[in-house]
Structure 1
């Protein structure tokens, strides 16, 4: 019988758009002794986590808690709890994850309405607003930060328009929460899903969400339908109960609310990790954290351009924590990525769909967003490109990044 050794994970510098390096303080928190999920010490941690999540989401919503599972679990929980078969759902697509929202909505019986724009661009907000007026959907589901293209969709006009048109605005902010502004209340977003494995620098395994009373009203009526106590007016608005058990937000409310009704066994160590992750975010300060991401982004971009490479997403709507680099003609992009991993222990990402094989995606998120990582990836990328006979400006990339770091008064790690 084969004897398996204990895990000996290699050290990596992870510069992908997710997952990213986990903050060492989070790793320490995950080694905290396990508590029972109804132990007062643990339920107090649950309450503290909810309170801190409200601050990160910049909301006063009552409901801000994690769904156990990856980010997709959070998206599915919100969509399956809100969408009934036959509901009109408008989903603008400007990258891979708009297609994911579409698939999940389809599986819940939605009548899908898509609009699309070219990968690498985003929508003029008025285009989406005009389409809402035409379609009259129950739900607008939209991605905020599209990591497949490194682009970020503005939402400040879309949220208020949804409120005026009585459309529920559901936002995938998996890539952006904790790294750039996600103003849930100010932008009038009804439900927002975040991710742990990106700018929060927590392992994948929980999906922080928040939603307001407009969403809660839908959940409440669907629960009445399930229990057979719905009024005739309720039945006009809602016809079917929530199909999922695990992803039923109305049941999760009972679990995370003061009643503490048993729904599932909480992922204890992940809750420790999330609590520490959001604590670190708030300790740094939201504005300071957002500025840090933009600062290191600038150093990375300047270094790449000085090297003689071009950026795919050098546009006003660039996602601050994902930098997309056009692969030079004649260079095998996958071979470059493999050499970075094998020789330097650095991981960067390729892309999907129409961009597969055309760009590299370099993430600078959360704990991975540090000066030593930026300089290391630039130095290693130059060395690997030289080995691949690419035509680059040798020695200039690091110097340009150092110019950014030495010319700034901003003190960051």
Structure 2
């Protein structure tokens, strides 16, 4: 007996034109603007994720990731997901229930590491610093001595505060106390000096949309020999199938066994982003970021604006600027966005409403961007002080 098909409902149907987005200059905490060459690569016709040409490209991406991280780690690959997926992959693969994980918290993303580790049933312990400071070797050693963790997790470039954690000697301490060193390099990879092997870092992760000048969507991940040993010695399966590196390694390793449908075009973009860094040279890339950051810092000081972090600990990629007394910080950033198409970030967590976060990352780390922002601060910020509340209210 024939069955009738119900009529198609138009309840959720939208009549839309082609997508149209404004041009923005992204000078916030990320994403940053992608390099035009990377955008061209993203628009190429897709090919199969097991195509021999794509398989060759995978190897190029892996080798160039080793270059920007300065590591020989065999297991180095871009996770199919944003930086938070790569962040979770480090913990999903390493943590077994009951493992003691010590998280060095000095900002918002240290707190995220703490949260993620707990979800994998780790025994999570913390040491903490005020938001805007870094840990000393003595403080790290005291934490390792007290808690005896299997993993020390910390953030190299804390995006919420603009602090660069000095790393010299921390890896040696982790070897001394027999624990793995896990490092967040989300706001440093491709822009700030990183020496994973020399620093004895066992696991690291990053993202595609900051120093690498690529859109969000991939999460670079790397695992050293000591971490591989812990993974191989697990008593059970990794509790996250999609992020299980023992499975992913069969796809990204020599066997190329299908695991999931890789985001082919995102890896086109990643390949071009890494190629451009190699073409410029890491030393030159790092120096460019340092030079432009110092130009920004000098300009801010000349305008009477104060950076939140001491100069010796500042990130060249992300500067936290204290919002002046009497200024509605959010109203001013909305003004920059709506009138000039420039994005500047606000504070997170303990720094919410207290700082602006200015990013100079990857393709956006250029003198003309620094000068443009400084000129706007000089010319238009005075109208947003408490003496001119009507202007600030109109912008909001």
- Does the aligned pair in 2 maintain the 1:344–1:380 contact within 8 Å? no
Which residue of the other structure, out of 198, 214, 220, is the alignment partner of 1:208?
A: 220
**Secondary structure in structure 1 of the residue aligned to 2:197:** coil
Q: Which residue of 2 aligns with 1:326?
A: 322
Q: Which residue of 1 aligns with 2:359?
A: 363
Which residue of the other structure, out of 99, 108, 118, is the alignment partner of 1:106?
A: 118
TM-score by length of 1: 0.89
Q: Which residue of 1 aligns with 2:312?
A: 316
CA distance in 2, matches of 1:76, 1:116: 21
Q: Which residue of 1 aligns with 2:241?
A: 245
- Does the aligned pair in 2 maintain the 1:339–1:384 contact within 8 Å? no
**Secondary structure in structure 1 of the residue aligned to 2:320:** strand
Deviation at 1:364, TM superposition (A): 0.6
Change (3 A) 1:152 1:294: same
CA distance in 2, matches of 1:316, 1:287: 19
Deviation at 1:131, TM superposition (A): 1.2
Establish whether residue 22 from structure 1 lines up as the match of residue 18 from structure 2: no
CA distance in 2, matches of 1:17, 1:2: 33
CA distance in 2, matches of 1:47, 1:353: 39
Which residue of the other structure, out of 286, 289, 301, is the alignment partner of 2:285?
A: 289
Establish whether residue 171 from structure 1 lines up as the match of residue 167 from structure 2: no
Deviation at 1:387, TM superposition (A): 2.1
Q: Which residue of 1 aligns with 2:298?
A: 302
**5+ residue gaps, structure 2:** 1-12, 388-396
- Does the aligned pair in 2 maintain the 1:340–1:384 contact within 8 Å? no
Cα displacement string for residues 56-90 of structure 1 (whole angstroms, at most 9, x for unaligned residues): 11011111110010101001111111100100000
Cα displacement string for residues 263-313 of structure 1 (whole angstroms, at most 9, x for unaligned residues): 100000111011111111111111100100011111111111111211112
Cα displacement string for residues 226-248 of structure 1 (whole angstroms, at most 9, x for unaligned residues): xxxxxxxxxxxxx3321110010
Deviation at 1:109, TM superposition (A): 0.3
Deviation at 1:212, TM superposition (A): 1.0
- Does the aligned pair in 1 maintain the 2:82–2:216 contact within 8 Å? yes
Establish whether residue 264 from structure 1 lines up as the match of residue 276 from structure 2: no
Which residue of the other structure, out of 28, 31, 35, is the alignment partner of 2:47?
A: 35
Q: Which residue of 2 aligns with 1:278?
A: 274
Deviation at 1:377, TM superposition (A): 0.9
Q: Which shifted more, 124-133 or 277-286?
A: 124-133
**Secondary structure in structure 2 of the residue aligned to 1:186:** helix
CA distance in 2, matches of 1:314, 1:130: 24
TM-score by length of 2: 0.93
**Secondary structure in structure 2 of the residue aligned to 1:210:** strand
Q: Which shifted more, 120-129 or 108-117?
A: 120-129
Establish whether residue 350 from structure 1 lines up as the match of residue 343 from structure 2: no
> 1:137-152 maps to which residues of 2 (within 5 A)?
137-152=149-164
Q: Which residue of 2 aligns with 1:394?
A: none
Establish whether residue 336 from structure 1 lines up as the match of residue 332 from structure 2: yes
Establish whether residue 80 from structure 1 lines up as the match of residue 62 from structure 2: no
Deviation at 1:390, TM superposition (A): 6.6
CA distance in 2, matches of 1:112, 1:141: 10
Q: Which runs of 4+ in 1 moved over 4 A?
A: none
Deviation at 1:220, TM superposition (A): 1.9
- Does the aligned pair in 2 maintain the 1:125–1:158 contact within 8 Å? yes
CA distance in 2, matches of 1:253, 1:129: 33
**Secondary structure in structure 1 of the residue aligned to 2:204:** strand
Deviation at 1:373, TM superposition (A): 0.8
**5+ residue gaps, structure 1:** 223-238, 392-413
Q: Which residue of 2 aligns with 1:382?
A: 378
Deviation at 1:378, TM superposition (A): 1.1
Deviation at 1:8, TM superposition (A): 1.2
Q: Which residue of 1 aligns with 2:6?
A: none
Q: Which residue of 1 aligns with 2:392?
A: none
**RMSD of Structure 2 on Structure 1 (CA):** 1.2
Q: Which residue of 2 aligns with 1:90?
A: 102
- Does the aligned pair in 1 maintain the 2:326–2:385 contact within 8 Å? no
Establish whether residue 11 from structure 1 lines up as the match of residue 23 from structure 2: yes
CA distance in 1, matches of 2:38, 2:182: 29
Change (3 A) 1:82 1:64: same
